[in-house]
Structure formats: C-alpha cells, structure tokens
A and B are shown apart, each in its own frame.
Chain A
C-alpha cells in the first residue's frame, strides 16, 4: 500500500459528460501529480500541484483542470469527454524539499463510451 488513495477505481461514462477524479496523497506529502496512461503507453504527465498551488503543467488538455485543496487532496476534472480520453489516470504524491520519491495510487480507469 503506497498510502496514496484514488477514487473511484473504475468509471464508465458517455461522451460529452464531465467527471471528477479524486486523490488523497500520502500523509505529509505536499506535491500531487496527475498522469494519464493510455493502453500500452507510457505515463503522460498532466499537472503538478504543490501545497495548493499549480507548480508545473504537462500535456493537459484545456478540457481538463485540476486543483489541490487546503487539506492537500486533489481533484482532476475532465469535461466534454471524448472516446480518446479513455485511459488510466494516476495520481502520485511526494514530499517537500529533500524527499524525492513519488508514490502512486492504484489509478482510476476511465472508460468513455
């Protein structure tokens, strides 16, 4: 158990809909990262938050947004969903300065039909 919790584990929704994925980081970790992994693909970095503020942005679509709340949990919002958005979405967390490792949640499998 990595200590990172993601919900829900599975999500099936229709095209055009909006969903919210949730991530609770490990206790004490300030950074949250969101990644997308399509079938047989590597991890694509979407966005990073550090202590409530956006720190880095990767290949995140304009239809996607995220935020990190004061209690450090994070949500990834995906809107106007398309079939191509079907993927595994992972959240990872890491500590502040001096703690370099990232620990991953079990992921949310999103299926857009």
Chain B
C-alpha cells in the first residue's frame, strides 16, 4: 500500500486554467516536499513545507501543508505549457522519504 496518495493521477488542461493537485496520507510527516519530473529526467525539488498550515508561493505555484501535517496541496494559477510534467509529493519521517503516486499534468496550448 502507498503511504501517500496523490489525486488526480492524470490531468489535462488548457493553457491559462487553474488546477490543484492533492497529496494525502493517514500518517504524519515532519516535512513534505514537492518535485516535478520531466520525461527521462530526475525529479527536481520545487519546495519543502515543514510547519502545519504552512503556505509557500513560488511564482504561480502555491503549496500548502495541512494543519495536521498529513496532507498537502499544490495549486497552479494560469497554467503554462512549461508546467507539463509529473508532480510528486514526498513525505519525510526521520531519514526516510515516502513518495506519492504522482500526478501527470499536461497543459495544452
């Protein structure tokens, strides 16, 4: 069983639309990371959230860590074709990382 479930699994939207990706778990994490992966490349770290309820903004991307530190969301405003990729969340507990199932985002011009 997967410790972190992401939804939706696949998302295809028009350029300019907004979207939200969710990362849920029944477990508590000390921190949570979001990564974006392009085909054939390694995942690239986007952000780390540490405090329950924390919100971080990275240009058009807004990341939120749930109050109970069990879930997180990634909101993209006015999506661009360059946002296309696989988005992965990862929760940290001690020295161990647990990756989510991934959300494959395609932004259509």
Residues of chain A whose beta carbon lies under 8 Å from any beta carbon of chain B: 2, 4, 31, 33, 35, 40, 42-43, 45, 48, 50, 55-56, 88, 90, 92, 94, 96-97, 100-107, 109
> Helix, strand, loop or mixed for chain B's interface?
strand
Min C-beta distance of B1 to chain A, whole Å: 12
Number of interface residues of B (CB under 8 A): 24
Q: Does B82 contact A (CB under 8 A)?
A: no
Bound together, the chains give a CA A35 to CA B40 distance in angstroms of: 14
Give B72-109 as 1s and 0s: 1 = Cβ < 8 Å from A's Cβ atoms: 00000000000000001010100111111110100000
Q: What B residues does A31 contact at CB under 8 A?
A: 95
Q: Is B44 an interface residue (CB 8 A)?
A: yes
Task: Enumerate the 10 nearest inter-chain pairs by beta-carbon distance, A residue then B residue, closest first.
Answer: A104-B42, A42-B102, A100-B31, A43-B99, A100-B92, A104-B43, A106-B42, A42-B101, A107-B42, A56-B96
Complex CA gap A100/B90 in Å reads: 11
Residues of chain B whose beta carbon lies under 8 Å from any beta carbon of chain A: 30-31, 33, 35, 40-45, 48, 50, 88, 90, 92, 95-102, 104
Question: Which residues does chain B contribute within 8 Å of A43, judged by CB atoms?
Answer: 43, 88, 99, 102
**Once the chains are docked, how many angstroms separate the CA of A76 from the CA of B100?**
23
Bound-state CA distance A5–B31 (Å) is: 25
Beta-carbon contact of B95 and A94 below 8 Å? yes
A33 touches B40 (CB 8 A): no
Among candidates A90, A102, A107, A109, residue contacting B45 with C-beta atoms closer than 8 Å: A102
